[in-house]
């Protein structure tokens, strides 16, 4: 895949950049600007090279038509603050305002288009509808740079089809993400541990299955752990449970044992009588969860156990919090795990925090991005890469220029 350095002199050229600016909002207030900060270096580098930069991105899940709550206007303001320059904002994506403002750009200026998903063609299932919208996007620019790693697993107009219409390259962010993921999948330095959390085990079955041939240890926490505990025959009370996945998990446990992959489960959990920060809660053994309680975090002994299992690792990938970290009584396990990763990072290990809730959690709990080897901007894309799936937004970049 070409990088921006392979595009030659970009001065005066209109460069369309597909960024991932899908940040969480509370009204119009951005609560985590990590994706904006991660996207800024590519945009700044292009602008500094004299390009006329046209940034496109999505926010939330509008249904193919404008919705005020999903406007990228607050993102334009914050992006300008991060870049240290004014960012022009278009009130539409490929309409009259976008066309006029794109045409008026001067060398080094940055324009952000309104939400891609305000247009049905962006996520259309039919190739023709997607291609038609992609053609409108492509008409705004001379060159395309793909830098939204969080969407490269989607066959969408701004991710896939535009790259087939314009000379293209990967941005710094996508290049860095792919480099890190290759290090996780191609001869990783060992011991190699993968920590998986989050709510549903069904979301992670593919990556678990693929990693049984790669990782040395799998540490399981979060809501998904209760399906593992149930597969071992333990009572899980009112905890989150995917009963239809128990037999599948039993199969993975057997495969792991045969392959010599160590699966580490919590030995204690924080169990509450309701999903609430104010609920009565205490620490119980993982194999003795009361029938009227639900597990909402790994316990202190589990936190120590997980830290011990990571201490000698040279490579660690983490995706998914250990509990309901948004509520203070159930944040300790995720915080302890993050600290364990910080410790092995300082000892020289490659540590990768796999996007989404994990990235939000470490920032909310007071950690800096620089405390870890790499914080991914694409949880779903990272997982699909680790599953061994083909990512359309990357494979199209490997094709020759349009």
Catalytic residue among 45, 80, 209, 380: 380
Sign, Cα dihedral of 235, 240, 243, 249 = negative
117 is in an annotated binding site: yes
Centre a 10 Å sphere on the Cβ of residue 74 and count the other Cβ atoms it contains: 16
What DSSP state is assigned to residue 214? T
**Ligand-binding site membership of 96 (annotated):** no
Distance of CA 259 to the CA centre of its chain: 29
Contact 123, 156 (CB under 8 A): yes
- Out of 35, 101, 217, 293, pick the active-site residue: 35
User: Which among 88, 3, 75, 89 has a CA at the least distance from the CA of 46?
Assistant: 3
Query: Does 35 count as an annotated binding residue?
Result: yes
Report the DSSP pairing between strands 143-147 and 168-170.
parallel
> Is there a catalytic annotation at residue 380?
yes
Cβ-based burial of 92 (10 A; exposed 0-12, middle 13-18, buried ≥19):
middle
DSSP letters of 295-354? EEEE-HHHHHHHHHHHTT-SEEEEES-SS-TTSGGG-HHHHHHHHHHHHHHHTT-EEEE-
H/E segment holding residue 196: strand 192-196
DSSP notation for 72-140 = SHHHHHHHHHHHTS-EEE-SSSSSHHHHHHHHH--TT-EEE-S-GGGSGGGS-SSHHHHHHHHHHHHTT
Q: Of 308, 338, 307, whose CA–CA distance to 323 is shortest?
A: 338
Confirm or deny that 255 is annotated as ligand binding: no
The Cα–Cα gap between 226 and 222 comes to 8
Is 356 a known active-site residue?
Answer: yes
161 annotated ligand binder: no
Flag whether 326 is marked binding.
Answer: yes
Question: Does residue 18 have a known ligand-binding role?
Answer: no
Dihedral angle of Cα 345, 30, 200, 205, to the nearest 10 degrees: -60
Asked whether residue 355 is marked as a ligand-binding residue, the answer is: yes
Ligand-binding annotation for 58, yes or no, is yes
Q: Is 20 among the annotated ligand-binding positions?
A: yes
137 is in an annotated binding site: no
Tokens at 382, concatenated = 């990272």
Residue from 148, 333, 356, 379 carrying the catalytic annotation: 356
Six-digit token pair at 166? Answer: 């314009």
The angle formed by the CA atoms of residues 318, 315 and 232, to the nearest 5 degrees, is: 55
Bridge partners of 19, per DSSP, are 147
DSSP state of 187: S
* Residue 147 marked as a ligand binder: no
H/E segment holding residue 39:
helix 34-48
Q: Residue 21 annotated as binding? A: yes
| 164, 200, 250, 314: the active-site residue | 200
Which residues are documented as binding site? 20-22, 35, 58-61, 117, 154, 204, 295, 326, 355-358
Which residues are documented as binding site for (2R)-3-phosphoglycerate? 35, 117, 154
Which residues are documented as binding site for substrate? 20-22, 35, 58-61, 117, 154
Q: Which residues are catalytic?
A: 35, 200, 356, 380
Which residues are documented as binding site for ATP? 204, 295, 326, 355-358
């Amino acid at each position: 895949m070409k990088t921006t350095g392979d595009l030659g002199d970009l001065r005066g050229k209109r460069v369309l950049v597909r960024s991932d600016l899908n940040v969480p909002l509370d009204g119009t207030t951005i609560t985590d600007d990590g994706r904006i900060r991660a996207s800024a270096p590519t945009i700044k580098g292009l602008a500094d090279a004299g390009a006329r930069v046209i940034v496109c991105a999505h926010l939330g899940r509008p249904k193919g038509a404008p919705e005020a709550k999903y406007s990228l206007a607050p993102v334009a303001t914050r992006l300008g603050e991060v870049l240290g320059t004014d960012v022009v904002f278009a009130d539409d994506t490929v309409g009259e305002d976008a066309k006029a403002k794109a045409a008026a750009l001067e060398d080094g200026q940055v324009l952000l288009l309104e939400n891609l998903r305000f247009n049905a063609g962006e996520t259309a299932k039919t190739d023709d509808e997607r291609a038609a919208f992609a053609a409108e996007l492509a008409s705004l620019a001379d060159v395309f740079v793909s830098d939204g790693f969080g969407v490269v697993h989607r066959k969408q107009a701004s991710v896939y089809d535009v790259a087939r219409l314009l000379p293209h390259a990967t941005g710094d962010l996508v290049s860095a993400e792919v480099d890190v993921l290759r290090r996780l999948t191609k001869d990783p330095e060992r011991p190699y541990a993968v920590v998986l959390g989050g709510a549903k085990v069904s979301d992670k079955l593919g990556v678990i299955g693929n990693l049984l041939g790669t990782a040395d240890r799998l540490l399981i926490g979060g809501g998904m752990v209760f399906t593992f505990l149930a597969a071992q025959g333990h009572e899980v009370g009112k905890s989150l449970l995917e009963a239809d996945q128990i037999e599948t998990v039993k199969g993975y446990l057997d495969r792991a044992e045969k392959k010599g992959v160590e699966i580490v489960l919590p030995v204690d959990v924080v169990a509450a009588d309701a999903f609430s920060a104010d609920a009565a809660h205490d620490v119980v053994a993982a194999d003795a969860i009361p029938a009227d309680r639900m597990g909402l975090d790994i316990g202190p002994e589990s936190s120590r156990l997980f830290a011990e299992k990571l201490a000698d690792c040279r490579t660690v990938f983490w995706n998914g919090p250990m509990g309901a970290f948004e509520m203070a009584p159930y944040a300790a396990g995720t915080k302890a795990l993050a600290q364990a990763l910080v410790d092995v990072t300082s000892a020289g290990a490659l540590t990768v925090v796999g996007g989404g809730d994990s990235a939000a959690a470490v920032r909310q709990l007071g950690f800096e991005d620089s405390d870890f080897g790499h914080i991914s901007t694409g949880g779903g894309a990272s997982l699909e890469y680790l599953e061994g799936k083909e990512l359309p937004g990357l494979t199209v970049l490997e094709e020759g220029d349009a």
